[in-house]
Amino acid sequence: MKVKMILPALTEAESPFWRPIKYSLFPPLGLATLAAYLDPDDLVEIQDQHVEELYLDDEPDLVVIQVYITNAYRAYNIATHYRQKGAYVVLGGLHVTSLPQEAMPYADSIFLGPGEDTFPQFLQDFKNGTPQKTYRSPIRTLAGLPPVRRELIKRNRYLVPNSLVVTRGCPHHCDFCYKDAFFEGGKSFYTQLVDDALAEIERLPGRHLYFLDDHLLGNVKFATALFDGMRGMNRVFQAASTLDGILRGNLIEKAAEAGLRSVFVGFETFSPENLRQSNKRQNMVNDYQKAVNRLHSLGIMINGSFVFGLDHDNTDVFKRTVDWGVQQALTTATYHILTPYPGTRLFKEMQKNGRIMTRNWNLYDTRNVVYQTKGLSQQELKDGYDWAYREFYSWRNIFRASLRHESDKHKLKHLLYSGGWKKFEPFWNFLIKTRGLNHMLPLLEAILSKVKPASSPSMANPEPVKLVLAGAEKS
Ligand code: SF4
* CATH number assigned to the domain comprising residue 124: 3.40.50.280
Lowest mean pLDDT among 83-92, 157-166, 395-404, 425-434: 425-434
Closest residue to atom 3 of ligand 1, CA basis: 214
- The answer as to whether 269 is a domain residue is yes
Question: In this predicted structure, what is the pLDDT of residue 422?
Answer: 72
Q: Which is the closest atom of ligand 1 to the Cα of 179?
A: 8
- Does 280 reside within a domain? yes
The answer on 317 and 237 residing in a single domain is: yes
Choose from 8-17, 273-282, 383-392 the range with maximum mean pLDDT: 383-392
In a domain, 144, yes or no: no
- CA 186 to centroid of ligand 1, rounded, Å: 17
Residue type, 355: R
Whether 237 and 375 map to the same domain: the answer is: yes
Same domain, 111 and 240: no
- Helical residues (DSSP H) of 42-135, grouped into ranges: 72-84, 94-98, 100-103, 118-127
pTM of the model: 0.90
- Same structural domain for residues 316 and 449? yes
276 and 419 both lie in a single domain: yes
For ligand 1, pick from 165, 167, 168, 174 the residue to mutate: most ligand atoms within 8 Å of CB: 174
Per-residue confidence (pLDDT) for residue 19, from 0 to 100: 64
* Residue 98 contacts residue 341 (beta carbons within 8 Å): yes
Residue 26 resides in a domain: yes
Q: Are residues 198 and 280 in the same domain?
A: yes
Q: Clarify whether residues 294 and 366 are in a common domain.
A: yes
Q: What is the CATH number of the domain that holds 379?
A: 3.20.20
Q: Is residue 152 part of a domain?
A: no
Residues 61, 167 share a domain? no
Alpha-carbon distance of 256 to 245, in angstroms, equals 13
Q: Do 164 and 132 share a structural domain?
A: no
User: Which has the closest alpha carbon to 188: 97, 67, 125, 263?
Assistant: 97
Rounded distance from Cα 173 to ligand 1 centre (Å): 6
Residues near ligand 1 with C-beta < 6 Å? 170, 172-174, 177, 179, 214-215, 242, 266
pLDDT in tens, 307-341: 999 999 999 999 999 999 999 999 999 999 999 99
Count of the separate structural domains present in the chain: 2
Domain extent for 348: 159-474
Q: Looking at the domain assignment, is residue 356 inside a domain?
A: yes
Same domain, 75 and 181: no
Determine the atom of ligand 1 nearest the C-alpha atom of 171.
Answer: 4
CA nearest ligand 1 atom 8, residue: 177
pLDDT band of residue 12 (cuts 50, 70, 90) is low
Render 238-302 in DSSP notation, one character per residue: EEEE-HHHHHSTTHHHHHHHHTEEEEEEEEE-S-HHHHHHTT-HHHHTS-HHHHHHHHHHTT-EE
Give the Å distance between the CA of 176 and the centre of ligand 1.
8
Domain end among 136, 151, 186: 136
